[in-house]
Amino acid sequence: VIKKSADNSLFATIAADSAMVTVSGARVTINPELDFTDKQQYYVQIDEGTFVDGAGNLFAGIVNAETWVFTVGDIVAPMLDSVSIVSNNEDNTKATVNNVVTLLFSANEEIGTPTIQFSSGGQAVQDVSTVINTVENNWSATYTVKTGDKEGLVSFVVSYQDLEGNGGQPVA
C-alpha cells in the first residue's frame, strides 16, 4: 500500500506478486501504474509475511508511516503564462528612441531569474534589460530604445528554469 503523507490518502494498492514489484536480494522496487506527483511525500506499508527470505523467515512488515518514506523530486519543467509586451509610447504597440519596452509574464511555479533577449527589427538589442520578479511568480523585463536600435518589430526570447534546474521551453 502506498499512501500520501499529507493526508494519509490511498495512492495505490499493489500485490507483492504484481509485475509492478521487483525483488532483488534484500531490495524491493515498486513501480506503480500511476505517476507520482512532484514534490509530494509518500509512505509505504507492507503486511507481515508479504515477503519471505531465502531461509524461510517472514518479513515483519511495515505498519507505520515513518519507516519507508520518500519525497518525489521536481521533475516537471516550468511554463510561462500570459506573456505580453507593450511600450510607454502613445501607441503602446510601437516604440521610438527613449521609449521603454516592457515584457510582462508569469510562471506556473517559482523560477530563477530568467534571461531575456530583446530584438528590434530582427536585430538583437545590445542594451541590457532590467528583469525583476514583481510578486510571487510574476516577472517584468524592460529595455529603453536607443538611437542605434534598428527600427521594426520588437521581439523577445525568454530563457528560464525552475529552482530544481528543470529548463522551461523558451518563449518568443
Q: Kindly write down the DSSP assignment for every residue of 14-36, as one continuous string.
A: --TTSTTEEEETTEEEE--SSPP
Quick one: which H or E segment has residue 120?
A: strand 115-120
Contact predicate 12/33, CB 8 Å:
yes
Mean pLDDT is lowest, of 20-24, 126-130, 164-168, for: 126-130
Mean pLDDT of the region 41-56? 94
Is the pLDDT at 127 greater than 80? The verdict is no
Question: Minimal CA–CA distance to 172: which of 157, 160, 154?
Answer: 157
C-alpha cell at 10: 490511498
Q: How confident is the model at residue 128 (pLDDT cuts 50, 70, 90)?
A: low
What grid cell was written down for 66?
Answer: 515513518
CA distance 45 to 66: 9
Strand-pair partners of 58: 52
Per-residue pLDDT tens over the stretch 139-151: 999 999 999 888 8
Look at residue 161 and tell me whether its pLDDT is greater than 90. yes
**What's the rounded Cα separation, in Å, for the pair 79 and 167?**
9
d(CA 33, CA 21): 11
Place of cell 490518502: 9
Pick 8 or 24 by higher pLDDT: 8
Per-residue pLDDT, 86: 93
- CB–CB of 3/10 below 8 Å? yes
What global pTM score does this model have? 0.70
Composition of the chain by helix, strand, coil, percent to 5: 0, 40, 60
Interior CA angle at 52 toward 50 and 54, to 5°? 165
d(CA 165, CA 116): 17
